[in-house]
Amino acid sequence: MSSIGTIKFFLGIQVVQTNQGIFLHQTKYVSDILKRFKIEDEHPARTPLSVNHRITPDKEGAKVDKTLYRAIIGSLMYLKASRPDIMFAVCLCARYQANPNVHHLLVVKKIMRYLKQTPNLGLWYPCDNDFELTAYSDSDYGGCKKYFKLTSGDVVPDEETKE
């Protein structure tokens, strides 16, 4: 193995290192998937998901190409590694990969249009010694309209479990 300098890309994630910290983003990947799925000419969206999204299994809607839907979901699943802002919307849409319909595809395309609006977002890790991670959780037992199971939670361990 040889060192060729500071890291710029790692598994499709762009890495920007400065004296203040490290910024991880996937701007190039966002551009690539917008081109791949022909979303680059559509108007951008301000949010990845509407507040009253009403996404349900909807077995009566017109069916869409499962391969296309799954390809978009797969691309978004990889992207959410550096984009926690789309995680809930992508995971919600991923539930309907078995029988996607037009409504589900429109929601997924809205997520893509949101990415067009915000291609440069990512994760910032500052170098400060007093870095404190704050997380928020919105547990929603009514988010899953079919089984009414928990659809969100937190990912930050308690102080007692940190080592």
- Residue 76: predicted pLDDT: 94
Judging by beta carbons within 10 Å of its beta carbon (0-12, 13-18, 19+), is residue 58 exposed, middle or buried?
middle
What are the residue boundaries of the structural domains of the chain, listed by start? 9-150
- The model carries a pTM of 0.77
- In angstroms, the CA 144 to CA 134 distance is 26
Point out which residues pair with 9 in neighbouring strands.
14
The tens digit of pLDDT for each residue in 100-152 reads 999 999 999 999 999 999 999 998 888 877 767 666 555 555 555 565 555 55
